[in-house]
Amino acid sequence: MKSESISKYRPFPAVALADRTWPDRLITEAPTWCSVDLRDGNQALPIPMSVEEKLEMFDLLVKVGFKEIEIGFPSASDTEFCFMRRLIEEDRIPEDVTVQVLVQTRRHLIERTFEAIKGARRVIVHIYNSTSTLQRRVTFGDASREDIKAIAVTGAEVVKELLPTLPTTEIVLQYSPESFSDTELDFALECCEAVIEVWQPTPEKKLILNLPATVEWATPNVHADQIEWMCRKVSKRESVIISLHTHNDRGTGVASTELGLMAGADRVEGTLFGNGERTGNLDIVIVALNMNSHGIETGLDFSNLSSLREVYERTTRMTVPDRQPYAGELVFTAFSGSHQDAIKKGLDRRAREGDEKWGVPYLTIDPHDIGRSYEAIVRINSQSGKGGVAYILDQEHGYDLPKTMHPQVGKRVYDLADQRGEELSAKEVGDVFFTEFVNVNSHLMLKDYELDYHSAERGELACKAVIEIDGESKIVEGVGNGPINAFVQGFEETGLKDFTLTDYRSHAVRGGSSSDAAAYVQLRKDDGTILWGVGCDPSIEMAGVKALVCAWNLLR
């Protein structure tokens, strides 16, 4: 912003709470979760969900494990009203799930809401009125504190008056001083106390005080101070459930919620993937998975996040950004070479040592735990390192390259990615490897190879190979303690040996229906060049011989 714009704004006042305790607290258990996807989320959609879409979303929220679900604003429209009626009349609300309905503190709207919930087993009736200085001044035309408190009290009284009309429905009461985040704390408390006075909660029949950061005006520590202040000052604390409802205007809805929980809140309202007004509501997926990642049970099951995301994107017509924690397309993908390397080491070590606790660099959780796969973890572009390429060849193609071969293959793969200016798929990485490093037969072609175990001295064997070198056929014969050594000796006899064999490895190729063996031969040329070649063949001996031919060719 330019200075002349910045001068329009002022600092947000701190809360006078010098002896705050929340900074030393840890989150050790999950709060009660309430989904507001079907209300705050839905009201913020350019195209709101249809009744059928709301039903699908409702079933999804139940499946995830939400026990409290705000299903809408039944007095606001026929769609909302009908939705509530369908849930009740079609008996779609499971025994252990309580639906919540929102309504302003106005008699006719509250009456309509009570009509909508008739016949439900248990419902949270949630009333709200806006309390902040800004709203009092601008929206309500300089309304006084008394006027605003009276709105809250009237609403609470109407609700109380209507309770006996639904004797078979258990009704839990909830009040929100809307715009709490920029309401003077003493006035927010005054409104809450006035409602408490009307509703008279008890420890057995608690009421919910929801303290919304309707707009996120301040840093999360200020929010935490506000919540701790309210938790300390509210009367009948043992009869009151303190609920958080954060929005994300400053991008810190998650942090505000986490600090708010440390400050003493019992309950959290939010949505899947943070859908909601403006920058959205709190993303409950993030907060719950953050807790899981610290070993805390939440009662919410996000083990199949991708299918959840599919329903969410289809019914809301919103999209989850690529970098969204946990759910985003790219969040378990490492492009940087050093990250890929460290991830591979971490995963290998876990596979080897079977560590009970998670500890893989750069990954806060095991992607499998939320239904993501390792296949997508390492993707290859020109910024990738050798570790990433080796990881792909190992995981996707079953080739466990010797460590000293990683740079040789890695360079070729990321040079290609650079040339193309785009990411390479696992298949393309494999194509480069198989074309350029496996069974390469370019100058020297192996036409035939036979071993004779009897004609040589004890413990040795003889080989006879037919090769074609630059179009000319030759016979190579040699003796050695193994097929490769025998072939190397044959190279010497034929005048083709300008190298030393410096390393050799082999293993069975893993995965698929392959019964091949892979062999790796490292040669050092007399001029000092060192290269690996790979041979692949159903016979491990032939794989070694082919690897030698391949390395020889690569040295040319």
- Beta carbon nearer to ligand KIV, 265 or 444: 265
Hey, which residues between 464 and 503 contact Zn ion (CB under 5 A)? none
- Beta carbon nearer to Zn ion, 181 or 522: 181
- Beta carbon nearer to Zn ion, 77 or 473: 77
Q: Which does 288 bind (CB under 5 to 8 A by kind): Zn ion, ligand KIV, none?
A: none
- Give min distance, CB of 278 to Zn ion, in A: 10
3-state secondary structure of 329: coil
The beta-carbon contacts of 365-370 under 8 Å, at least 24 apart in sequence, are: 365/289, 365/292, 365/293, 365/326, 367/332, 369/292, 369/303, 370/289, 370/302, 370/303, 370/304, 370/305, 370/326
Residues in the chain: 556
- Burial, 96: exposed, middle or buried (Cβ in 10 Å; 0-12, 13-18, 19+)? exposed
- Give min distance, CB of 104 to ligand KIV, in A: 9
- Give min distance, CB of 207 to ligand KIV, in A: 15
Site mask for Zn ion (CB under 5 A), range 18-47, x = bound? ----------------------x-------
Q: Which does 406 bind (CB under 5 to 8 A by kind): Zn ion, ligand KIV, none?
A: none
Contact 316, 360 (CB under 8 A): no
Q: Which does 210 bind (CB under 5 to 8 A by kind): Zn ion, ligand KIV, none?
A: ligand KIV
Q: Which does 128 bind (CB under 5 to 8 A by kind): Zn ion, ligand KIV, none?
A: ligand KIV
Contact 73, 84 (CB under 8 A): no
- Give min distance, CB of 210 to ligand KIV, in A: 6
Pairwise CA distance, residues 517 & 494, whole Å: 28
- Beta carbon nearer to Zn ion, 40 or 228: 40
- Give min distance, CB of 366 to ligand KIV, in A: 34
- Beta carbon nearer to ligand KIV, 73 or 491: 73
Contact between 216 and Zn ion by CB under 5 A: the answer reads no
Binding-site size, Zn ion (CB under 5 A)? 1
Four-residue CA torsion sign, 207, 213, 218, 219: positive
- Give min distance, CB of 103 to ligand KIV, in A: 10
- Beta carbon nearer to ligand KIV, 183 or 439: 183
3-state secondary structure of 441: coil
Query: CA distances (Å), 151 to each of 107, 162, 192, in order?
Result: 11, 17, 12
Pairwise CA distance, residues 327 & 271, whole Å: 14
Contact 434, 546 (CB under 8 A): no
- Give min distance, CB of 273 to ligand KIV, in A: 17
Residue 471: DSSP 8-state: T
SS percent in the chain: helix, strand, coil, step 5: 45, 20, 35
- Give min distance, CB of 313 to ligand KIV, in A: 23
- Beta carbon nearer to ligand KIV, 42 or 340: 42
Q: Which does 48 bind (CB under 5 to 8 A by kind): Zn ion, ligand KIV, none?
A: none
Q: State the residue for tokens 């003077």.
A: 184
Distance of CA 319 to the CA centre of its chain: 14
Point out which residues bind ligand KIV (CB under 6 A): 40, 102, 128, 176, 178, 210, 212, 214, 245, 247
- Give min distance, CB of 200 to ligand KIV, in A: 22
Residue 272: DSSP 8-state: G
- Beta carbon nearer to ligand KIV, 247 or 309: 247
Contact 518, 535 (CB under 8 A): yes
- Beta carbon nearer to ligand KIV, 73 or 114: 73
Q: Where along the sequence are the contacts to Zn ion (CB under 5 A)?
A: 40
